[in-house]
A and B are shown apart, each in its own frame.
Chain A
């Protein structure tokens, strides 16, 4: 059993958040991307036909919002290790007593925090907009999709977790930041398949299905997080070759 030092994890999280805050491209991306994914749901709410509750047309906007926790963290996660290497900060960091598990956990948490913050802020704003501005029939239709709202709540951290874990895995192995970001983005999409199938009605969007798939996704995320530790090789990260166990 490997002990995790919370101080070191916190140090990584704090540094990452400080770094994000000062990088304009990151701040802009974290604001712009969610707003883009908010446009269609808002149009549906404003311009859509007031169908009765249970109509499939209400599912699309909700599922579209789930792209936010997938897209937002993948670029950041893919940058996290490859970026450190590219800017020459990885070697000094790896000469400290930090364990690879602490490093990975810190990096993952630092991406998760703003992702969840932005995602839930957007979801909350959307639902508030629906309640206040939308046609009452449409509002009733959207709020009647309780299993889907549960999916929104549960799947957000899990989809973000998957995107982060996959992004980190790619980042640990990739030689360049750009390659890591492209691969990380592509690899983060598969779990969305379940969501799409629910949206299309292939999988019945029930509370049981939502909780079941959430549990499965959680298990996959945890296994993947452990797997990254196995991929983390100081020698490879520093020299680009070899495989040590140190």
Chain B
């Protein structure tokens, strides 16, 4: 199943995307005998929000560090913001991107504005004052501009890290767990900010453990577990991994479910999850649902609900990661 996804993904990756922001080809990074990630290939289109998911130690942060020119790949190639990844292009690539690590890494003895002034200087920004003001307003921190960073809460520090990433007006933003430690309201503000950046054409490479966040924000996601397990839109991945199904609940258990469901041609398989609850594997839920309803009514069942089974991105993620765990155990 997973190999099929990988193959279909490879076809999708090879499909021409208009001026990709990121092109990663067979990228591998080893630290001595330890492989951080291996043979990773994907493309990210300009203006796309691309989710990068994986368990701890999967190689997500190392991938960001390689693409951010902090560390050199062992093999493979990549193009970042249209520039080939190489030591001599490091400065030019870093000029076009911004990276927000999971821990924002702020100077706690400096004020909010002083932190941003420092980075504005490193990016050689003109009109730094105006840019700083815009960035602070974008993350709702303008009223804390003169506060020392040491006095900010974790959530506010995270927002300042985001403001810093916005400062240089980057083509690609690498955000490593941007909502880590934020309360739901602040997290929603970050989500709004990411959506706003998408509408401005900024490419966002989002590393996250929050699958609901990835599902909500990302156009496509990649799941990494040292090797790339899959790349695609969340809906496509669900469709590739899980067959369509109907979930039926009746007031009382059916007296003879094999007879009821066996008579419906569109039902491929079925099983009971609990008394009065049935999961039917079908090719097309919209075709099968009316037929199943008629069969249930004819059997005298009191139908409480008939729903299409919904698999979350979390189900996709766990399915793929569990396959890896099982493979290792074998």
Contact = CB atoms under 8 A, between A and B. Distances in A.
Interface in B99-127: 99-101, 103-110, 114, 117-124
Nearest to A242: B31
Interface in B71-110: 71-72, 87, 90-92, 94-95, 97-101, 103-110
A23 B99 contact: no
Nearest to A24: B109
Given A15-B114, A242-B71, A97 B109 contact: no
Interface residues of A, number: 34
B72 A95 contact: no
A92 B110 contact: no
B140 interface: no
Nearest to B73: A244
A246 B83 CA distance: 14
Nearest to B119: A96
A91 B101 CA distance: 8
The listed residue with most B CB atoms (<10 A of its CB), out of A92, A99, A235, A239, is A92
A100 to B, nearest CB: 10
Interface residues of B, number: 39
Contacts of A90: 105
Interface in A119-139: none
Interface in A87-128: 87-99
B164 interface: yes
A244 B87 contact: yes
Contacts, number: 105
A18 interface: yes
Interface string A158-174: 00000000000000000
B240 interface: no
A178 interface: no
A244 B124 contact: no
B25 interface: no
B71 A244 contact: yes
A244 B94 CA distance: 16
B70 interface: yes
Contact of A88 (B94, B98, B105, B123): B105
Contact of B109 (A7, A19, A245): A19
A234 interface: yes
Contact of A95 (B98, B107, B117, B118): B98
Contact of A235 (B70, B120, B124): B70
Nearest to B29: A242
B109 A22 contact: yes
B109 A23 contact: yes
Interface of B: 31-32, 65, 68-72, 87, 90-92, 94-95, 97-101, 103-110, 114, 117-124, 161, 164, 168
Interface of A: 5, 7-8, 10-12, 14-15, 18-19, 22-23, 87-99, 234-235, 238-239, 241-242, 244-246
